[in-house]
Amino acid sequence: MDKVKEDIVPKAKRGKATNELVVEMKDVRKTFGTKDILKKVSLTVKRGENLVILGRSGQGKSVTIKCIVGMLTQDEGTVKVFGDEVSEMDEKELKELRVKIGFLFQSGALYDSMSVRENLEFPLTRVLKIDEQSELDQRVEEVLDAVGLKDAIDKMPSDLSGGMRKRVGLARTLIVKPEIILYDEPTTGLDPITSREISELILQMQEKYKTSSIIITHDMECARITADRLIVLNDGEFVEEGTYEELENSKTEFVRSFFK
């Protein structure tokens, strides 16, 4: 039993969070039609911190991170990233902000008409405007090496497994060196071993690239490995906040039910 417990201790160390707030959401409300998806949600993320958002499906977790990156605009409340209100940004400011925020989609969202190399070069040539092939090659190889997929450089997304697609997706997110990474269910649909590898990778990348992260997940193993702090959402509302151990022993039955 002790051996098993020892095995699941994460290999990477958590980065140290500072007190500087990089994301600050206050009393955010978002409705679609007549349905309230978010009702007065508030959260903060410190620099270097990994925040995990827990909640059942359809409770507004993805909407929360889409508001942070400006894909959706809140109806009420404020969403500040690096101190600036996202909903008040013009197109240029939003584009600049998005360079600093990486977004890893649930499916990896690799461009399926492009090879792995082209997928990784895309944000470099289009967003950072890097034209020099030697620099492109060096950065592509560096991130692929970091996610352990150097051999897949010339493969097409259709030739990759689910776990590999997520790794390449993470590499594409990391290649522009973002300060914040938003993970939308990074381990969904993966087997337990690959899920754990991805969770470890998230932690390793945080340590290596000094990023802050918001991780949406249902996978408690992923939450346990990656989270510095967790918040629980239910029915579009904030329920509880704390470390993994604190929430595991929560007085609220709903919160404890995630840990069973």
Positions of E strands within the chain: 21-32, 35-46, 50-54, 76-81, 84-85, 101-104, 180-184, 212-216, 229-234, 237-242
Which is nearest to 54 in space by CA: 250, 245, 229, 260?
Answer: 229
The reply on whether position 110 binds another protein by CB under 8 A is yes
Which listed range, 1-9, 48-56, 101-109, 241-249, lies at the site for another protein (CB under 8 A)?
A: 101-109
**Residue 104 structure tokens:** 């890893």
**22 counts as binding another protein under rule CB under 8 A:** no
Rounded to 10 deg, the angle between the 133-146 and 192-209 helix axes is 130
Helix orientation angle between 133-146 and 162-174, rounded to the nearest 10 degrees: 130
Check if the beta carbon of residue 23 is closer than 8 Å to that of residue 65.
no
| Binding status of residue 140 toward another protein by CB under 8 A | no
Cβ distance to another protein smaller for residue 69 or 164: 69
Among 127, 153, 220, 239, binds another protein (CB under 8 A): 127
CA separation for the pair 136, 45 (Å, rounded): 32
Indicate the pairing of strand 212-216 with strand 180-184: parallel
**Rounded least distance, CB 127 to another protein, Å:** 4
Residue with smaller CB distance to another protein, 163 or 178: 178
Residue 105 C-beta: closest distance to another protein, Å = 5
Indicate which single residue of 123, 163, 186, 236 sits in contact with another protein (rule: CB under 8 A): 123
Whether 146 and 171 have beta carbons less than 8 Å apart is answered as yes
Residue 34: CB minimum distance to another protein, A: 14
DSSP 8-state symbol, 228: S
Residue 96 lies near another protein (rule: CB under 8 A): yes
Query: Which residue shows structure tokens 């959402």?
Result: 233
Contacting another protein within 158-217 (CB under 8 A): 172, 176
Q: Is residue 111 involved in binding another protein (CB under 8 A)?
A: yes
Region of 10-18, 44-52, 100-108, 143-151 interacting with another protein (CB under 8 A): 100-108
- Going by C-alpha positions, the residue among 54, 55, 31, 29 that lies closest to residue 42 is 29
**Among 82, 122, 209, 244, interactor with another protein by CB under 8 A:** 122
Which residues would be at the binding site for another protein (CB under 8 A)?
A: 69, 71, 95-96, 98-99, 101-103, 105-107, 109-112, 122-123, 126-127, 172, 176
